[in-house]
Amino acid sequence: MMIEDWILATLIVLFILACGWLYVIWQNTQRSEQQIRQVVSQQTLIGSDVSARSLCHAVHYLHPSMHAGVDFVIKHDDPDKPPYIAEWNSTTSKPTDGQLRVALAKISNHGLLENYAIRRQAEYPSIGDQLDAAFKARHGDKTEQMEQDKKIQEIKDKYPKTTGECGD
């Protein structure tokens, strides 16, 4: 009789542990889904609202590792007012309005609010030239490939890639 009681008690404990484990997984899933919705919402706002995208760029200028929708949340609920940082979820200090204005001025003066990809694409060597150089390099003649790579690197340096978190 004692062995049966011990087995029953063990099964009950295992059942309780399994239920607890499933609850933790469910909670994590709920949090993950909420986080995904928040990131999608931020990317939608930033992709469609130039002033929100500029604010995002200013935050990234000050804190390059920040992610919109995760570390901070931008809202723009009144079209007559500028967007603002509604939530700051990072352990680093939230930038002040003055710091954001300075960052906006700096990135605006350097043309960093423009999409780097479009500017690069306009100046890159043609795809045909790149493919021809790659073909020749695969067959032993790397001179054209080196020239193409040099041109591409010059353009990349001329138009540095932004973080990609602000709708770029």
pLDDT digits 0-9 by tens, 152-165: 999 888 777 655 55
More confident residue, 110 or 72: 72
Mean pLDDT of the chain: 86
Structure-block tokens of residue 49? 């609202």
Q: What is the mean pLDDT of residues 13-39?
A: 94
Q: What is the pLDDT of residues 42-73, one digit of tens each?
A: 988 888 888 888 899 899 889 988 889 999 99
Q: What is the mean pLDDT of residues 109-131?
A: 73
Compute the distance between CA of residue 52 and CA of residue 64 in angstroms, rounded to an integer.
Answer: 17
Residue position matching structure tokens 């949340």: 73
pLDDT at 109: 65
- What distances in angstroms separate CA 55 from CA 19, 40, 139, one per listed residue? 44, 17, 49
Please state, as a whole number, how many other Cβ atoms lie within 10 Å of the Cβ of residue 9.
10
CA nearest to 72, candidates 49, 54, 92:
92
SS3 assignment, position 74: strand
Are the CB atoms for 90 and 66 separated by under 8 Å? Answer: yes
SS3 assignment, position 116: helix
Compute the distance between CA of residue 107 and CA of residue 118 in angstroms, rounded to an integer.
Answer: 17
pTM: 0.56
Are the CB atoms for 33 and 52 separated by under 8 Å? Answer: no
Structure-block tokens of residue 4? 């049966």
